[in-house]
Amino acid sequence: MSDIVLGVGASHSTLMNTHWDQVVHTDRAEAFRDALDTARRRVAEARPDVAVIVGSNHFRGFWLDLIPAFTVGVGEVVATGEAGTPKGRQKTDPGFAQALAADLVEAGTEVAISARLQIDHGQSHAIQYLLDGLDVPVVPLVVNVFARPLPTLARCVRLGENLAAAVGRIAGERRVVVIASGGLSHRLPWPSDWTDPQGDDEAFLVDAWINGRGEWERYDERRREIIVAARPTISPEFDREFLDDLANGRLRRYASMTTAEVESAAGNGGQELRTWLVMAAALGFTPGTPLVYAPMPEWLTGMGVAVLDPAAVPASGDRR
C-alpha cells in the first residue's frame, strides 16, 4: 500500500526563465522564487519515492488532431526543453504509472495513456523548480485545459479522489507527492474558440495546434512573440480568495463552476485551476498553507505556491 504524503500547488511561467532581467516587481518575483524553494525543501523532507505531476498541455505534447481530457505517462517521458526548462528523457516509474492508470480506469475515471509522452513546461517547470536536485521519478498526468470542450471541474475532483484511492491500492509502500502545476488567474493571447480564430495571430496559433505534431519548434518563435506582446490580465481578488479557500479546505466548492464561469473570473489561463483541484481532491481537501501570492504582470499571471501536508492537520476531533 502506497500513500500520498504531500501536495504542492505552484503556478508556472516560462517568462520567469527568459525575462527575469525585465522584472519590475522584483520583490514579488523573488518572493515567488523563494516560495518555490521552500516548497522544494518540503518535498525533499517528505522523502517521496515518486512525484505525480498534474499539469497542463501547451500544444507541444498534444495537438488538436488528438487531445484527451486526461493522459497518464506510463512509459518514456521526454521534456521539450522550451524556454530554458529541462529537456530530454526524465526519470520515471513505469510500474507505478501503469498501475495508477489501470486503477483509475477501473474506478470509472477514464484516462488515456502514453508510452512515449512529450511534456512541456506544464510539467517540466515543476521538475525544474520543485524537484531540482531530487532523484525522484515522475508520473505526468496531463489535463486538457485549453482546447474546448474541457473536462468539467467536477470530473477533475473525481479524478483526484480516484487518484488517492488508486495510490492507496498500489503495492510497494511508495511515498507519493502530488504536484499541481498551473494557474492562478491569467489570460493568454489564445483564441477563445479554436474553431473560429480571430485575426492573423489566432489563425497562426490554431494552425500550430492542428499541425504541430512532430514539428512544434517550427511554430515556437512566433508563438513566443505573440505571448510576450500580450497585455497582462490578472485578478488578484479571485486568486487571494482561491488561496484562502485552499487554506481552509474549501476548494471543493469550485467543482460547481462551469468553464465559462472560470474564464469570466480568472481568464482563459485560469482553466489551469483544474490541476489544483485534482491535487487538492487527492489530498482529501485537507487545509493547506499558501506560501506566497504574487501578481506578476511581467509574467502575465498570478503566481501562487501552496503546500498541503496531511500529517500537519490534526484529526477532526482535535480541530478548534
Catalytic residue numbers?
121, 186
C-alpha grid cell for residue 157? 475532483
The pairs formed by 150-154 with CB atoms below 8 angstroms and a separation of 24 or more are 150/69, 150/259, 150/271, 150/274, 151/69, 151/70, 151/274, 152/258, 152/259, 153/254, 153/255, 153/256, 153/257, 153/262, 153/273, 153/274, 153/277, 154/255, 154/256
H helices within 138-235, ranges in order?
A: 153-169, 199-211, 217-228
H helices within 21-171, ranges in order?
A: 26-45, 94-106, 121-130, 153-169
Q: In terms of Cα–Cα distance, which of 98, 97, 57, 69 is closest to 213?
A: 57
Q: What does the buried/exposed string (b/e) look like for 57-86 if buried means 16 or more CB atoms within 10 Å of the residue's CB?
A: bbbbbbbbeebbbbbbbbeebbbbebbebb
Spatial separation of the C-alpha atoms in residues 212 and 218, rounded to whole Å:
8
> How many of the other CB atoms lie within 10 Å of CB of 175?
16
Strands 289-296 and 175-181, by their bridges, are unpaired
Q: Could you give the count of Cα atoms lying within 13 Å of 292 in the half-sphere of its Cβ?
A: 22
**For the purposes of burial, counting CB atoms within 10 Å of the CB of 221, is it exposed (0-12), middle (13-18) or buried (19 or more)?**
exposed
